[in-house]
Structure 1
């Protein structure tokens, strides 16, 4: 079979580099929700022309991380209660599917991988480093989804996990004792390792529900209580 002429793979484009850096800044809260992004200021900071900057920003609009307002410009999305519900509802479905695959596969291998993230969470808690704690928390869920072996689940989770990182930044101030987060994840691992499907899925659901309750009081995944759309 003859192949059509194929162009050599180029290095990451300028727009791709800018999009990655803006995405990271949104994830970590360096660009908080509601921040307006000015082209002139960003072009100066990145030392680029407006062409690749606009391309990068449109990538983030398509990913749902930036919103466009007519005659005003681009803003980092705000996570309203409805957004929180959507994020965790979708994550719950994806991670439930990933957990079921993990339970039917090499449970010990997956549990060991998840324990690495929990150890990092515990170390961050000991160091009183909420940012590191949130990154380790995110790695736990990334590892669980990756362990499913499903490329589709990983792909579907990609933008959700970026939005989740934004939620985790907001969650940092809701825990009186950060050890709570470590305990929640440890119990999930214990149920996985034991092959206890009912407990593992129940704990995962409770973990998602707890986050929703902290971020959007009065909203519930279990009861399907999504906030009313204005």
Structure 2
């Protein structure tokens, strides 16, 4: 087609995307602490880029929910309160429950079992090795597989909008999960119910599973109180 751009020559990842990825990893690893201000000029020096890509990267991460922008103050790493955590998991339950309903109606839902079982096994092995980063990764992959199995691109995009915040939540939650030897077993039960098509039991299991994080953090005191808390 005359005049059409040669898309093969476009970079696969923009400079802003690379900077966003590096900052995202630093936030999720705790290298940038909750509440820390993100200094645009310092980040530009750190990554040896101009301030433009840094500004675009920060805006992306604000949209993902990992950073928050306060007018006249700047951009900061988000500090998740218990209310924030509950809201993330409320959104997740709505998305994943819808996915379970779609999966229950699929004639080939049993084909999903090997993928889910693989993530459960990975989670179990990581927990045994006390590799909590790998546990969180397997947890996230398990739930993404559930959503993708529904076969709805829009539902998957909705899940994408909470994925970054979910990763941040899981980073906090690993402290609670360390005392839970049954984490992989919980996922195994959910996988079995979903692939068997036992919708009511699967929805009940999902509800219990996604309610647990609030209980963990209340016990650990791992999140700061809400701004209006006494």
> 2:168 — aligned with what?
166
Query: For the residues of structure 2 that align with 1:6 and 1:63, how far apart are their CA atoms?
Result: 32
Q: Give the TM-score taking structure 1 as reference length.
A: 0.87
> 1:182 — aligned with what?
184
Query: For the residues of structure 1 that align with 2:25 and 2:180, how far apart are their CA atoms?
Result: 23
Query: For the residues of structure 1 that align with 2:25 and 2:226, how far apart are their CA atoms?
Result: 31
Offset at 1:88? 0.6
Length, aligned pairs only: 219
The 3-state SS of whatever aligns with 1:177 is coil
Q: Matches of residues 1-230 of structure 1 in structure 2 within 5 Å?
A: 6-9=4-7, 10-11=10-11, 12-105=13-106, 106-175=108-177, 177-215=179-217, 230=228
Greater CA deviation, 35-44 or 173-182? Answer: 173-182
Offset at 1:216? 5.1
Query: Do the aligned residues in 1 keep the contact of 2:103 with 2:197 (CA within 8 Å)?
Result: no
The 3-state SS of whatever aligns with 1:179 is coil
Offset at 1:155? 0.5
Is there any run of 5+ residues in structure 1 with no aligned partner, and where? 218-226
Query: Do the aligned residues in 2 keep the contact of 1:87 with 1:160 (CA within 8 Å)?
Result: yes
Q: Give the TM-score taking structure 2 as reference length.
A: 0.87
Offset at 1:24? 2.8
Cα RMSD over matched residues? 2.2
The 3-state SS of whatever aligns with 1:32 is coil
